């Protein structure tokens, strides 16, 4: 059972937790993250497990913060869990925060050398990974292969990614 801290509309912790999947009431929110990993001018994307919502669609890695975690703690944990990647404090940069439904989504950019052969997918979450060019990513979005909410958030932060991609 995963628990997360409940925060208000100003992102202040309300002093209690809820179980993941439980309905958030009025003035209740949670925190999540997603991250863009660039290597040699290409973006790492992950394919969602067939057991999850949006099965088989592609996205950037991310997830929900657990109780007691900061956004950075979540980034470090999710990178390790989902794709077996160890990241440190000097390898990433917060590039924005967006609201998705009732979740604050902190969006990070990571520029580190990484080989696909070194990635270990958490099969419950990720069925495949690949690097794509910007052109490939946009074509995948046009073909409805990218999770819609991920592409919507990308649209709001794309200018912060231009030099890397």
CATH number, domain with residue 8: 3.90.79.10
Q: At residue 164, does pLDDT exceed 80?
A: no
Structural domains of the chain, count? 1
Q: At residue 91, does pLDDT exceed 90?
A: no
Report CA torsion sign: 144, 146, 135, 117: negative
The single residue listed with the structure tokens 């690949």 is: 130
Domain that holds residue 71: 3-164
Give me the pLDDT at residue 53, please: 92
Give me the pLDDT at residue 55, please: 95
Token pair for 135: 């052109």
What would the mean pLDDT of 57-68 be, rounded to a whole number?
97
- Do 145 and 57 meet the contact criterion of CB atoms below 8 Å apart? yes
From residue 140, how far is each of 137, 144, 146, 155 by CA, in Å? 5, 6, 6, 14
Cα(113)–Cα(38) distance, rounded to whole angstroms?
A: 8
């Amino acid at each position: 059972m995963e628990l997360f801290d409940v925060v208000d509309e100003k992102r202040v912790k309300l002093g209690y937790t809820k179980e993941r999947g439980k309905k958030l009431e009025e003035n209740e929110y949670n925190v999540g993250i997603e991250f863009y990993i660039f290597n040699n001018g290409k973006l790492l994307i992950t394919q969602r497990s067939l057991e999850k919502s949006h099965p088989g669609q592609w996205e950037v890695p991310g997830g929900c913060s657990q109780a007691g975690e900061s956004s950075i703690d979540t980034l470090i944990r999710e990178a390790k869990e989902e794709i077996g990647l160890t990241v440190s404090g000097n390898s990433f940069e917060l590039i924005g925060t967006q609201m998705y439904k009732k979740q604050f989504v902190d969006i990070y950019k990571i520029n580190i050398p990484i080989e696909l052969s070194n990635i270990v997918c958490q099969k419950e979450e990720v069925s495949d990974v690949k690097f794509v060019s910007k052109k490939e990513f946009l074509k995948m979005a046009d073909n409805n292969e990218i999770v819609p909410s991920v592409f919507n958030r990308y649209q709001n932060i794309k200018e912060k990614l231009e030099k890397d991609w």
